[in-house]
């Protein structure tokens, strides 16, 4: 059973990278350096500056090495964060003390030198923390922009997948209806042929109606408006009604119903759950060979009702097994828009239930829906 689901194959191409149609750019993802590497780099630069000053800068004003030592402090903060900036600032303070009298020693003289060293530590710490905060804010802004770009890219891909799938789904029944109507109008067919052509028109019209129904449900799901209007429902009657409505669809297989006698009423939205049963039956029939058996079973377990639809098809395609109920992914060769099972999942979960798929050892596939009896 190459079941429906919905992603990149329907979109018709790779979706890697955050480039969005219409934006024309692909933002560069900026990743800060690991703190330990930023700390190491800052300490190395401090050591290099200190060595250069000790070797060649004995006559320099203390302001020059102070400004030079601020560079690795700020750089380490931007790359590694506030704690790294503070650590490198302490290392730089020790290095700065070595260019104060006595020159080349970490010791300092009281008075002017102590004040100079304290001011250096304060300025280095404040500058590193301030610039680190600015860098962190920029990273957060960039992350938010990238998330927006990724979301727009996904929306664009989903829209492309939906348009392709729906256009395929609508064209097929419309072409059949057009061909049958043209044939009926242009030729004087025997009664049996006319009835056969009219049956085609009826079948494909019903298929169009189900496609439009799924699309309307999908729009309500995306708008967050899929709220069940619960009422006590006789699930036996609902299943029988759904099967009767799809009689033309299920006529190519042998449909079996196994429903627990005396099934209690279930708190459901009748029209929504009717859509679930219809989608599952149509999906099972679509992937079953002619004359195969499709079985719908309803049982209760405690306060949970379990509805299962089984078929004798080829089972699940491995490429879609893990994303079977995801919106906007389509199994290769499924021949449908790939939204039926996604809609089923949304409806079932809105009822507080669950939906799952399995492959019995004898072959085929089974979709199982479980919902609480009392909602």
**Domain match, 307 and 217 both:** no
On the question of pLDDT at 320 being above 60, the answer is: yes
Same domain as 240, residue 367: yes
> Does 9 reside within a domain?
no
- Determine the Cα–Cα distance for residues 11 and 16; give it in Å rounded to an integer: 12
User: Does 30 reside within a domain?
Assistant: no
Of 154 and 341, the structure prediction assigns the larger pLDDT to 341
Distance of CA 256 to the CA centre of its chain: 37
Q: Are residues 69 and 111 in the same domain?
A: yes
Burial 60-90 (b: 16+ CB within 10 A, else e): eebeebbebbbebbbbbbbbbbeebbbbbbe
Domain count, the chain: 3
Residue 27 forms part of a structural domain: no
Instruction: Quote the pTM value.
Output: 0.53
Q: Provide the pLDDT for residue 355.
A: 92
Q: State percent of the chain over pLDDT 70.
A: 72
**Gap between the Cα atoms of 130 and 73, Å rounded:** 12
- What's phi and psi for 187, nearest 5 deg? -135, 150
pLDDT of 295: 94
3-class secondary-structure state, position 363: coil
**Mean pLDDT across the stretch 207-222?**
72
Same domain, 120 and 250: no
- Per residue in 221-255, pLDDT (tens digit) is 666 667 888 999 999 999 998 888 888 888 889 99
- 70 with 201, same domain? no
Q: Which segment, 74-83, 149-158, 167-176, 254-263, is predicted with the most confidence on average?
A: 254-263
In the chain, pLDDT over 90 holds for what percent of residues? 16
pLDDT one-digit tens code per residue, 191-208: 888 888 888 788 778 777
Residue 7 inside a domain? The answer is no
Look at residues 125, 148, 171 and tell me which one is the last residue of a structural domain.
148
Does a structural domain hold residue 259? yes
Domain containing 213: what range? 162-222
Could you give the count of Cα atoms lying within 13 Å of 360 in the half-sphere of its Cβ? 13
Looking at the structure, do residues 86 and 197 belong to the same domain, yes or no?
A: no
C-alpha closest to that of 3 among 374, 345, 375, 340: 340
> Within a domain: residue 153?
no
In a domain, 21, yes or no: no
Neighbours of 304 (CB within 10 A): 15
pLDDT value of position 21: 38
- 35 compared with 17, residue with greater pLDDT: 35
Q: Is the same domain home to 235 and 350? A: yes
- Answer yes or no: is 41 within a domain: yes
- For the chain, counts of helices (H) and of strands (E): 10, 7
Query: CB under 8 Å to 204, separation ≥6 — which residues?
Result: 172, 173, 174, 176, 177, 180
Q: What are 73-86's pLDDT values in tens digits?
A: 877 777 777 778 77
HEC states along 12-31?
CCCCCCCCCCCCCCCCCCCC
CATH number of the domain where residue 197 is located:
1.10.287
């Amino acid at each position: 059973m190459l079941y429906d689901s919905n992603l990149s194959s329907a979109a018709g191409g790779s979706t890697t990278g955050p480039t969005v149609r219409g934006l024309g750019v692909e933002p560069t993802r900026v990743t800060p350096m690991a703190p330990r590497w930023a700390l190491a780099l800052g300490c190395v630069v401090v050591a290099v500056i200190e060595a250069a000053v000790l070797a060649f800068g004995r006559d320099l004003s203390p302001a020059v090495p102070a400004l030079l030592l601020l560079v690795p402090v700020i750089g380490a903060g931007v790359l590694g964060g506030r704690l790294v900036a503070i650590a490198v600032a302490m290392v730089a303070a020790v290095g700065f003390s070595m260019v104060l009298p006595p020159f080349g020693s970490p010791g300092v003289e009281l008075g002017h030198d102590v004040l100079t060293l304290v001011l250096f530590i304060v300025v280095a710490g404040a500058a590193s923390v301030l610039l680190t905060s600015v860098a962190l804010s920029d990273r957060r802004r960039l992350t938010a922009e990238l998330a927006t770009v990724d979301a727009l890219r996904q929306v664009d891909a989903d829209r492309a997948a939906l348009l392709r799938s729906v256009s395929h789904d609508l064209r097929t029944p419309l072409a059949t209806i057009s061909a049958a109507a043209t044939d009926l109008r242009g030729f004087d067919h025997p009664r049996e042929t006319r009835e056969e052509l009219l049956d085609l028109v009826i079948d494909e019209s019903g298929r169009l109606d189900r496609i439009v129904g799924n699309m309307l449900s999908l729009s309500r799901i995306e708008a967050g408006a899929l709220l069940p209007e619960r009422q006590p429902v006789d699930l036996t009657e609902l299943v029988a009604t759904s099967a009767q409505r799809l009689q033309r669809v299920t006529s190519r297989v042998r449909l079996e119903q196994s429903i627990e006698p005396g099934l209690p009423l279930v708190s459901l939205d009748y029209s929504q759950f009717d859509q679930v049963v219809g989608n599952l039956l149509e999906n099972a029939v679509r992937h079953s060979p002619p004359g195969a058996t499709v079985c719908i079973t309803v049982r209760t377990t405690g306060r949970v009702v379990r509805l299962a639809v089984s078929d004798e098809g080829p089972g699940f395609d491995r490429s879609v097994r893990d994303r079977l109920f995801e919106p906007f992914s389509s199994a290769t060769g499924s021949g449908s828009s790939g939204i039926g099972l996604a809609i089923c999942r949304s409806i079932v979960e809105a009822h507080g239930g669950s939906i799952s798929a399995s492959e019995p050892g004898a072959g085929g596939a089974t979709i199982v829906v479980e919902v609480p009896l009392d909602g």
